[in-house]
Chain A
């Protein structure tokens, strides 16, 4: 073992260089800045960019489901039940003769929609709690933190199960349930960011020239939470898809016959001896999508917010 092996981990030295490379020019038009940022991201993080592409493809497939799916996903065909994959039915057919490929495509719609809706709501609410708690401190902070700690004391899936049962089955219930499970993490991370910024000199200066608390929160503090927020948002999408799949697998997802990836696995598992194509393909879709969101989140974190690396 030479000293190089034990040396500084190279990733520790990576600083957000982009700020130095190109001075910020407010006159630059937004699309131009976006494409410049994207090109820089592609250069610095090729792996994450690849997975960004995969995530975009998955979202496109979900949006364009009616164009892509060859069959009606809920149309039974009792002459063709449990057919193995073939040129006609790429992913085979299920217990009712429905085309598994079409169901996987439409199922992606449900799974992704639930994930995006729940993560948007959950991280937004959690973010507001975190920023307000961090800035205001005092009783509000204490109460919200205690409450969120209690929520975190319940294993995530168990909490989600209870919430869906309490709210009532169906997509809205699943969305709210997953959203609530996202609140504690988001609020904790953003609260820590606000706490570290709140005492800085420039916030003091803003206060001393008479800036209102709202102005301080929105103009001076909130922008600091933007990068960690984007990172949490992306990483949460993967978690949300996994929770949705588990709920649907347990029979707490969208009502049948609507397909979601988890529900398809649940249907496959009902028979004691499941057919391999009914198990393999929906699970593969989940794994690829979650992998894409997780690795995209990792790449974004390295570029946008290296400090939170250990905080998640």
Chain B
């Protein structure tokens, strides 16, 4: 058990570093002028800067140093919880992310909860009565939600809210402890869109996994000894059927993380998605670099946790070790 945890950690940590290196390098190959975002000037104005001024500015931003040194400084800072300063206004990036990440984290977690609350029951019902009307509807919705861009659904909800109910969610950054109701109005929209999209996926996995388990011999045995269908399902079938659902929740997370960026923007939530978009348009290297690292880091750590949970509850994995 400890050996397994150690081995997984031994894979996850180098992966995280490799990812940070890829992020760093991709953004250095960038042909654009980083001073554009720093000074907030047009390109024609940038060209009027003298070589001397340019050299001084680049030195101030730390961009004149070799890549290896820049990377070392960045990583050293990240490990101490210091992510450097934004090019745009010189904000401290760690505090910007802490401040705006709250809403995004709430949206992500609430989204996963909604996905499981809808996806699991629908998947179970579809598996108990395969090829029924309900099964047909749920598989149709699953296919549909895989094809619909989340941010489009989000925009439609915003438009419908305004057009039919003259309602628009607040677009300020309010933490739940200040005004829980306002905070809820901000996060529920994006969480719902992410949740239903992922629920379609959860329902499909649950269905196919439960159908497979229900075919197993031990289920026939349980039924043969006269156990009620409900008990067969709850006590014997579900625990085994839910294992694959846990494995794929990593994919689910990737889906939610990527989708949340555009969905948040569509709902005009002042979260990390909006921050990333602003950083992209203003070519704020430092901000993009750190945000990408955070998205990838959450993804890697969550996958690590999923793997560990999985091997904890499924003894077969340990035997294979």
Contacts and interface: CB of A to CB of B under 8 A. Distances in A.
Please determine whether chains A and B interact with each other in the same assembly. yes
Interface of A: 1, 5-9, 149-151, 153-158, 161-163, 165-168, 238, 242, 245-246, 249-252, 262, 265, 268-269, 272-276, 279-280, 283, 286-287, 290-291, 294-295, 298, 310
B299 A265 contact: no
B138 interface: no
A298 B147 CA distance: 13
Contact of B149 (A9, A153, A246, A280): A246
A1 B128 contact: yes
17 contacts: A1-B128, A151-B22, A154-B19, A154-B22, A154-B23, A154-B292, A155-B258, A155-B295, A157-B261, A158-B257, A249-B149, A249-B151, A250-B265, A251-B277, A265-B155, A280-B156, A287-B149
Interface residues of B, number: 59
A272 B29 CA distance: 35
A246 B292 CA distance: 16
A150 B143 contact: no
Given A150-B15, A279-B159, A246 B151 contact: yes
A165 B152 contact: no
Contacts of A276: 159-160, 163
A159 B303 CA distance: 17
Interface string B147-183: 1110110011011101100001000000000000000
Interface in B113-164: 128-130, 143-144, 146-149, 151-152, 155-156, 158-160, 162-163
Given A250-B265, A269-B155, A279-B159, A291 B143 contact: yes
A286 B153 CA distance: 12
Nearest to A147: B18
Contact of B292 (A162, A265, A290): A162
Contacts of B243: none
Interface string B249-270: 0000010011101100110100
B30 interface: yes
A65 B245 CA distance: 44
A292 to B, nearest CB: 9
Contacts of A151: 22
A196 to B, nearest CB: 19
Contacts of B129: 1, 5
Contact of A155 (B128, B219, B296): B296
- Nearest first, the 3 A-B pairs at minimum CB distance are A283-B152, A157-B258, A166-B26
Nearest to A291: B147
A9 B127 CA distance: 10
B91 interface: no
Interface string B276-294: 1100110100001000100
Given A154-B299, A245-B149, A290-B147, A8 B265 contact: no
B295 to A, nearest CB: 5
Which DSSP category, helix, strand, loop or mixed, fits chain A's interface? helix
A7 B265 CA distance: 46
B143 A295 contact: yes
Contacts of A265: 149, 151-152, 155
Contacts of B156: 279-280, 283
A256 B296 CA distance: 30
A307 to B, nearest CB: 15
B24 to A, nearest CB: 10
A151 B26 CA distance: 12
B146 to A, nearest CB: 6
Contact of B19 (A8, A153, A251, A274): A153
Contacts of A251: 277, 280-281
A150 B155 contact: no
A172 to B, nearest CB: 13
Nearest to B18: A150
A158 B149 contact: no
Contact of A158 (B31, B277, B283, B296): B296
Contact of A249 (B262, B281, B299): B262
A156 to B, nearest CB: 6
Given A250-B261, A265-B151, 15 more contacts: A154-B295, A154-B296, A162-B288, A166-B26, A166-B30, A168-B32, A246-B149, A246-B258, A269-B265, A269-B266, A279-B155, A280-B159, A286-B149, A287-B144, A294-B146
A153 B19 CA distance: 7
A6 B214 contact: yes
B261 A150 contact: no
A2 B15 CA distance: 50
B146 A161 contact: no
Contact of A165 (B15, B30, B215): B30
Contacts of B281: 251
Interface string B38-74: 0000000000000000000000000000000000000
Contact of A1 (B159, B229, B254): B229
A91 B63 CA distance: 48
Contact of A274 (B23, B158, B214): B158
A308 B128 CA distance: 25
A279 B160 CA distance: 11
Contact of A272 (B144, B149, B229, B268): B268
B161 to A, nearest CB: 10
Interface string B82-119: 00000000000000000000000000000000000000
Contacts of B149: 242, 245-246, 249, 262, 265, 283, 286-287
